[in-house]
Structure 1
Amino acid sequence: MAKLLRPEYLYTAAQVREIDRQAVELEGIPAGTLMARAGEATLALLRTLWPRARRPVAVCGSGNNGGDGYVLARRAKEAGLAPLVLAVGRPDQGAARAAFEACAQAGVEIRDFDRGVPDDADAIVDALLGTGLTRDVGGAHLAAIAAINRAARPVLAVDVPSGLNADTGGVMGAGVRADATMTFIGAKVGLYTGAGPELAGRIYLDDLDVPDAVYAATTPAARRIAFEWLATLFRPRARHGHKGDYGRVLVVGGGETMPGAARLCGEAACRAGAGLVTVAAHPSSVAAVAAARAELIVHGVAQPADLAPLVRAADVIAIGPGLGRDVWAQRLFGAVLDARRPLVVDADALNLLAAELQERADWILTPHPGEAARLLDCAAREVQADRMGATRALAGRFGGVVVLKGAGTLVAGNAKDPIALCDRGNPGMASGGMGDLLTGVLAGLAAQGMGLYEAACAGVWAHAAAGDDAARGGEAGLLASDLLPYLRARLHSLHVDGLPPSR
């Protein structure tokens, strides 16, 4: 039965095809049986989501995705509904051809797609392209996608919305905007990153009764960052603990006219549980930072020599928020790199790094797509077209841990750590200061002794989940500082036994 899930493991299309192949060849499950299960499960979901729909219109391609649609249409007819199939090509072999013939024999109305979806459609089933897409859509497929999007009817996508790259979350020229997606056997990475969350709507997974043993031979492409896993990384604080036990964070930033970013970063490190947080800022920014948050220790730093004693006292350094790119910033950036302390590198520090490429194991880099593009010497659209590939490339080039921010934030560490994906967060978080907040959270967790990869995963999740909590009052106008009380609550839920708030 389909479940609305946040699955732990995510797969590429090729990996799911391999699991499918093993189910057929090693477990003896006929391909037609898997297709029948897929079509029947999709119909069951459609009737659950839209129980009053009497005239479902399935837009079917010529491949196995279309075969699932033909099964659905036949079963809908047998259930007393009035389905219509709009065919973009006809299947000519295999299980899909058999599904087409059975659909026709059952008396389902099948038309060649010409211009659009009829006005009497109650719901649309997108069974056009599926996961096998390798180039931009065109011709009749492009016209069909446009017609589905124009129809203003509920849309249920089969496996993935047509036009969405199942591996990267990129849009292959155009994509169906679905209200829900029924995916099969394994959840595809592309549904959860890039354009995937916007196109897929609510995601449901049905394993089609493939035995668990079939999955054992395939290493998932990514792991979703889940509360249950993160909670194993945290322990309640000792009753006799003191501030020295919980780490010292140094924030280097707050250049001239930019005190706010460093203050947000420092406060987030405090809220993440760091014992002591110091901000090293330009002398002109000291008063603004100190006045905004009394718990921060603020030092004016005019030159690298002023930074030296602060660096020696730090367990982790966060550099970048409000740093700027002037001579002052460049000198401080060089001094921090020479200090050989674990780092969280963000904002302008990433732009400085792009001009002075280095590799090291003891840092977390936190680029958004534009900064990632500068680090990889490519265009931001190339990063967004293959976020998984870009994350791997950044980790390979710079070492350490990479956090590629955006819809479906990705975390990559060394080869033994799976790429982790965060499916929390919302568009309201596209506002100034959110990245500074995340940098402080990561530094605060790392300062308490957590490994950099684990700190990155936990910090990304807590930051995004807090953003969702804060957005309950509306996404537009959401401020970075609005997250702070929710951030503390989310991290607290990881420290104690019990369930997280509003899971």
Structure 2
Amino acid sequence: MPTRVIPMLPIALYTAEQVRDMDRCAIQDHGIAGYTLMERAGAASLSVLRAQWPAAHVITVVCGPGNNGGDGYVVARLAQEAGLGVRVVAATDPKALKGDAARAWQDWQACGTPLAADAAGALRGTDVIVDALLGTGLGRPVEGGMAELIEAMNASAVPVLALDIPSGLNADTGAVMGCAVEAQATVTFIGLKQGLFTGSGPEQCGRIHYSDLDVPAAVHQSQVPGAWRRDEGTLRCLGPRRRGAHKGHFGHVLLVGGDAGMPGAVRLAAEAAARVGAGLVSVATHPAHAALIPMARPELMCHGIENVPDLDALLDRASVVAVGPGLGQGVWGRALWQRVSQWGGPLVVDADALNLLAAGPLRRDDWVLTPHPGEAGRLLGLDSARIQGDRPAAAALLGQRYGGTCVVKGAGTLVHGPAGLQICDAGNPGMASGGMGDVLTGVIAGLVAQALPEAGMSQGGALSHLEAAATLGVCVHAAAADRAAVAGERGLLATDLLDALRFTVNP
């Protein structure tokens, strides 16, 4: 039963409801029987299992009450036919199954192998567990016996292959619904679900595999993707420079920040802007350390700002202003923020500037906001748990309230702008350290300054210049962090990204 497992993931992402609509389209409009799709899903899953765990001899399939459970019964039958030892744990009475899932159970039952009488025992002494417990339709926290099964799978120390989505993970938001399976691999069907790539999704899913179940292209064309996945392939839009180029072609970034005693953040942001190719980089900072920053990086032009009017000449020369790193929320920082927020050119807003914005909301179309979940919560009057509970909705709400393009940082960083939602599929846990956000601010500002053509980002919808720069910046930042983390994620510092940035923007 040949069914493709596509080696390179597509970039289109969908909500759970959209994938259900595509499933109905394949069945009703293109005449593919639902059970045929289920068998294809089972075959693709077994193919992934055999490829990832070639030494596996015994598998345990945990089946739930719906079509996800039906996929599990198909995997069990095909695995037994292939000569594997198979144990099946039924979370609910399979006699209550309906439709295609009921048929899958009946075909498994015809094999003559009884269900495992003891779930805990079935999870011991097995080589791989197949999670077919809950699918994408989960709408409330997992509890009771289902939660106990999930906890038992997670405690078993046996690798898990999740079918379509790890049970307990929200397919749209990437949030854990009470508890969720911690899979080492996930094979997902028909369309990639956006929740697999943000929030808790990357941690719960492990390595993601994809099969379109051989449905016609028209099935995917019936839906406009809910989001777009961006990875290192996005960097292909960074072509070589013209031989006659000079620094004036690549813009002038002005970094505003670094109150007394806080020069590090603005210095990181400024050097990042230079490392991604900005023609000129100036720093407007507190006079107390204006002379110190060029000692570490002489290419940066630093200016001590005592009074707000001192900014005006610098603003006149800037192509883009990035404000916030080390700015503080005192008298000095507030005064600079008020002046910069009235400037007529594009802004990148981060850190303390976001906190000042939360205290006095403004709306602009020509800025990029770069909050982490805590800052996003302050901007929206919510706690960070609410933000993490539905990151895509938070990004959309930030756009509605403040305008422009919003970057919600974290695992599976989101970029939301007028063209929709982009999700970065790169980065690593080593980035959870101080200064990483400052580097990202500088990266985005440096790319905005260069006025790179948006045409290279056209796949997945037309992006504005700021959306394209923010999306590319997030991907450059994450790819540089992945390169720097080759030496180890623990202990990764923001400064470790600076040299890696140069490599990353010259693919």
TM-score range with shorter-chain normalisation? Answer: over 0.9
Whether the 8 Å contact between 2:252 and 2:319 is mirrored in structure 1 is yes
Deviations along 1:48-97, one digit per CA (max 9) or x if unpaired, are 21122222100000100000000111111212222111001124210000
Equivalence for 2:381: 377
Q: How much does 1:228 deviate?
A: 4.4
Equivalence for 1:351: 355
- SS for the counterpart of 1:236 is coil
Matched, 1:281 2:285: yes
For 1:298 and 1:6, the matched residues in 2 are separated by 44
Equivalence for 2:479: 465
- SS for the counterpart of 1:290 is helix
- SS for the counterpart of 2:371 is coil
Whether the 8 Å contact between 2:87 and 2:122 is mirrored in structure 1 is no
Matched, 1:426 2:412: no
Q: How much does 1:306 deviate?
A: 0.9
- SS for the counterpart of 2:292 is helix
For 2:443 and 2:56, the matched residues in 1 are separated by 47
Matched, 1:41 2:55: no
Q: 1:63 aligns with which of 62, 66, 69?
A: 66
Matched, 1:78 2:92: no
- SS for the counterpart of 2:129 is strand
Q: 1:188 aligns with which of 185, 188, 193?
A: 193
4+ runs deviating over 6 angstroms:
none
Cα distance change on mapping 1:280 and 1:94 into 2, 3 Å: same
- SS for the counterpart of 2:290 is helix
Equivalence for 2:399: 395
Matched, 1:53 2:60: no
Taking the TM superposition and a 5 Å limit, the aligned residue runs for 1:169-184 are 169-184=174-189
Given residue 473 of structure 2, which amino acid in structure 1 is its aligned partner?
A: G
For 1:268 and 1:280, the matched residues in 2 are separated by 16
For 1:108 and 1:354, the matched residues in 2 are separated by 61
For 1:439 and 1:184, the matched residues in 2 are separated by 36
Whether the 8 Å contact between 1:56 and 1:83 is mirrored in structure 2 is yes
Matched, 1:155 2:160: yes
Cα distance change on mapping 1:117 and 1:358 into 2, 3 Å: farther
Given residue 432 of structure 1, which amino acid in structure 2 is its aligned partner?
A: G
Equivalence for 2:333: 329
Whether the 8 Å contact between 1:113 and 1:144 is mirrored in structure 2 is no
Cα distance change on mapping 1:113 and 1:138 into 2, 3 Å: farther
Q: How much does 1:207 deviate?
A: 0.6
Q: How much does 1:120 deviate?
A: 2.1
Whether the 8 Å contact between 1:88 and 1:113 is mirrored in structure 2 is no
Deviations along 1:303-348, one digit per CA (max 9) or x if unpaired, are 1111111111111000000101101100000000112221000000
Q: How much does 1:116 deviate?
A: 5.7
- SS for the counterpart of 1:424 is coil
- SS for the counterpart of 1:181 is strand
Equivalence for 2:448: 446
Equivalence for 2:456: none
Q: 1:262 aligns with which of 249, 266, 271?
A: 266
For 1:4 and 1:213, the matched residues in 2 are separated by 21
Cα distance change on mapping 1:75 and 1:182 into 2, 3 Å: same
Cα distance change on mapping 1:389 and 1:425 into 2, 3 Å: same
TM-score by length of 2: 0.95
User: Structure 1 stretch 472-481 or stretch 234-243: which is displaced more?
Assistant: 234-243
Given residue 363 of structure 2, which amino acid in structure 1 is its aligned partner?
A: E
User: Structure 1 stretch 287-296 or stretch 461-470: which is displaced more?
Assistant: 287-296
Q: How much does 1:227 deviate?
A: 4.4
Matched, 1:484 2:498: yes
Whether the 8 Å contact between 1:135 and 1:172 is mirrored in structure 2 is yes
Provide the aligned C-alpha RMSD in A: 1.3
Whether the 8 Å contact between 1:164 and 1:170 is mirrored in structure 2 is yes
For 2:121 and 2:336, the matched residues in 1 are separated by 61
Equivalence for 1:499: none
Taking the TM superposition and a 5 Å limit, the aligned residue runs for 1:488-499 are 488-493=502-507
For 2:117 and 2:375, the matched residues in 1 are separated by 46
Q: How much does 1:123 deviate?
A: 1.0
Q: How much does 1:287 deviate?
A: 2.4
Given residue 289 of structure 2, which amino acid in structure 1 is its aligned partner?
A: S
User: Structure 1 stretch 174-183 or stretch 71-80: which is displaced more?
Assistant: 71-80
For 2:118 and 2:391, the matched residues in 1 are separated by 34
Given residue 472 of structure 2, which amino acid in structure 1 is its aligned partner?
A: A
Deviations along 1:211-248, one digit per CA (max 9) or x if unpaired, are 1111112001111124445434x443222222122111
User: Structure 1 stretch 45-54 or stretch 210-219: which is displaced more?
Assistant: 45-54
Number of corresponding residues: 490
Whether the 8 Å contact between 2:364 and 2:404 is mirrored in structure 1 is yes
Whether the 8 Å contact between 1:269 and 1:443 is mirrored in structure 2 is yes
Whether the 8 Å contact between 2:232 and 2:479 is mirrored in structure 1 is no
Equivalence for 1:500: none
Cα distance change on mapping 1:117 and 1:411 into 2, 3 Å: same
Whether the 8 Å contact between 1:283 and 1:302 is mirrored in structure 2 is yes
Identity of aligned residues (%): 53
Equivalence for 1:100: 105
Equivalence for 2:461: none
- SS for the counterpart of 1:353 is helix
Cα distance change on mapping 1:4 and 1:144 into 2, 3 Å: farther
Equivalence for 2:412: 408
Whether the 8 Å contact between 1:57 and 1:121 is mirrored in structure 2 is yes
For 1:363 and 1:58, the matched residues in 2 are separated by 50
- SS for the counterpart of 2:414 is strand
Given residue 261 of structure 1, which amino acid in structure 2 is its aligned partner?
A: A
Equivalence for 1:222: 227
Equivalence for 1:386: 390
Q: How much does 1:402 deviate?
A: 0.5
Matched, 1:236 2:240: yes
Equivalence for 1:3: 6
TM-score by length of 1: 0.95
Equivalence for 2:312: 308
Cα distance change on mapping 1:41 and 1:108 into 2, 3 Å: farther
Q: How much does 1:46 deviate?
A: 1.0
Cα distance change on mapping 1:26 and 1:267 into 2, 3 Å: same
Whether the 8 Å contact between 2:116 and 2:122 is mirrored in structure 1 is no
